[in-house]
Amino acid sequence: MAHDHSHGGHGNQANEKALWIALALTGGFMLTELIGGLLSHSLALLSDAAHMVTDTAALLIALLAIRVSRRQADARRTFGYARFEILAAAFNALLLLGVAVYIMVEAVRRLMQPPELQTGTMLAIAVLGLVVNLIAMRVLTASQDDSLNLRGAYLEVLSDMLGSVGVIIAALIVRYTGWTPADPIVAVLIALWVVPRTWSLLRTSSNVLLEGVPSGIDPQAVREALAAQPEVEDVHDLHIWGLTPQRRLLSAHLVIADTLDPEHGDRLIARVNELMHDTFDISHCTLQLERSHCTAHPHLHPHDALHPDHPHGGQA
């Protein structure tokens, strides 16, 4: 059964361009915000600056992931390198969680010993950061649904945008009321907002790396759809996983009647492939057809299942 092995090269090129633009914006602003946070003694601004640092690293990793995932399959990586993007997404999620923990710990210290804040510097840099992040978000918005890797980069920039809004609010509160706890409180709120979204990204990427069933697929429904085929008497060794959330794969053994001829077996395989693609968005199926008498004789080699007289029959 022929498979479509085109995996969106043009999409990857567009994603890479978006990442380069976002990287130029965030990387160029990162040093300004970091220095401004140190000069103004603002934890909220330093929190945003820390996210900008992780943004820059995350975007670089995301770019590297796209470059690596574009490499063709070889003898050692027979499915190619697409899953490198999932590793990048998981790393970015862990990086963001680490930053969130640091901000919360530092916020407690700042509440106990509040420093003197330079609200003018805070406000100016936060407004500039907001503009930069809004532009970067606009660039990445169209690409975030294309891959988990881009989704991770988008979440990084989104958290920074909210961080800039938080810094502006904190600066205005401190400037006009003198209530300095507003700064670390806003920093904690930023961190708490990021954590559940980051956890979701980590959970999704971990499921892919652990070869779990992709989200939205009911294994029992797949099994029933396979078993409902007129030629199929039983289904076993069913496995469903994904190289990425968008590239879903399936392998299964289908038990068929002893009297089914090879031509009907080929038509069954073609029909099942079409069914899996149209109903469950599974793009790659590996199906083993077994004669019903073979299930009672486990010593028989699986290749003998469809064509007992042919050493290479039975696998599609």
**Looking at the domain assignment, is residue 313 inside a domain?**
no
- Residue 85 counted as domain residue: yes
Per-residue model confidence (pLDDT) at position 8: 44
In a domain, 204, yes or no: yes
Q: Is the pTM of this model over 0.75?
A: no
Residue 118 in this model has a pLDDT that exceeds 90: no
In 3D space, the residue among 2, 142, 115, 14 whose CA is nearest the CA of residue 66 turns out to be: 14
Last residue of a domain, one of 209, 236, 255: 209
Q: Do 153 and 106 belong together in one domain?
A: yes
Q: How many domains does the chain have?
A: 2
Residue 299 burial class via C-beta count within 10 angstroms: exposed 0-12, middle 13-18, buried 19 and up: exposed
Quick one: 223 and 147 in the same domain?
no
For residue 214, tell me if it sits in a domain: no
Single-letter amino acid code for the residue at 291: R
Statement to judge: residues 201 and 234 lie in one domain: no
What b/e readout covers 116-127, taking b as 16+ CB neighbours within 10 angstroms?
ebbbebbbebbe
Whether residues 83 and 109 fall in one domain: yes
| In a domain? residue 18 | yes
Distance, in Å, from the CA atom of 7 to the CA atom of 79, rounded to the nearest integer, reads: 12
Closest CA to 69 of 139, 149, 4: 149
pLDDT of residue 114: 77
Give domain status of residue 203, yes or no: yes
Domain-located, residue 39: yes
Residues 126, 42: one domain? yes
pLDDT at 146: 61
Establish if 312 belongs to a structural domain. Answer: no
Q: Which helix (H) or strand (E) holds 183?
A: helix 182-209
Same domain, 123 and 151: yes
Q: Are residues 46 and 26 in the same domain?
A: yes
Query: b/e string for 271-293 if b means 16 or more Cβ within 10 A?
Result: ebbebbbeebebbbbebbbbbee
CA 244 to each of CA 69, 248, 290: distance values in angstroms, whole numbers, following the listed order: 11, 7, 30
- pLDDT score for 217: 93
Residue 14 has pLDDT above 80, yes or no: no
CA distance between the termini of the chain: 6
The reported pLDDT for the residue numbered 252 is 95
For residues 51-76, give the mean pLDDT: 74
Question: Which structural domain range is residue 300 located in?
Answer: 219-304
